[in-house]
Amino acid sequence: TNQISLDLTSVSSSVNIRIMDSSGRVVLEQLNQNPGIVKDFELNNLQSGLYFMVLNNGTSQEIKKFIKQ
Identify the band that residue 1 occupies on the pLDDT scale cut at 50, 70 and 90.
low
Three-class SS of residue 43?
coil
Per-residue pLDDT tens digits for 21-33: 999 999 999 999 8
Amino acid 10: pLDDT = 87
C-alpha separations of 7 from 10, 30, 33, 49 in Å: 8, 15, 14, 22
Q: Is the C-alpha dihedral spanning 16, 20, 25, 28 positive or negative?
A: negative
> pTM of the prediction?
0.86
State how far the Cα of 48 lies from the Cα of 18, in Å rounded to an integer. Answer: 17
State how far the Cα of 46 lies from the Cα of 64, in Å rounded to an integer. Answer: 17
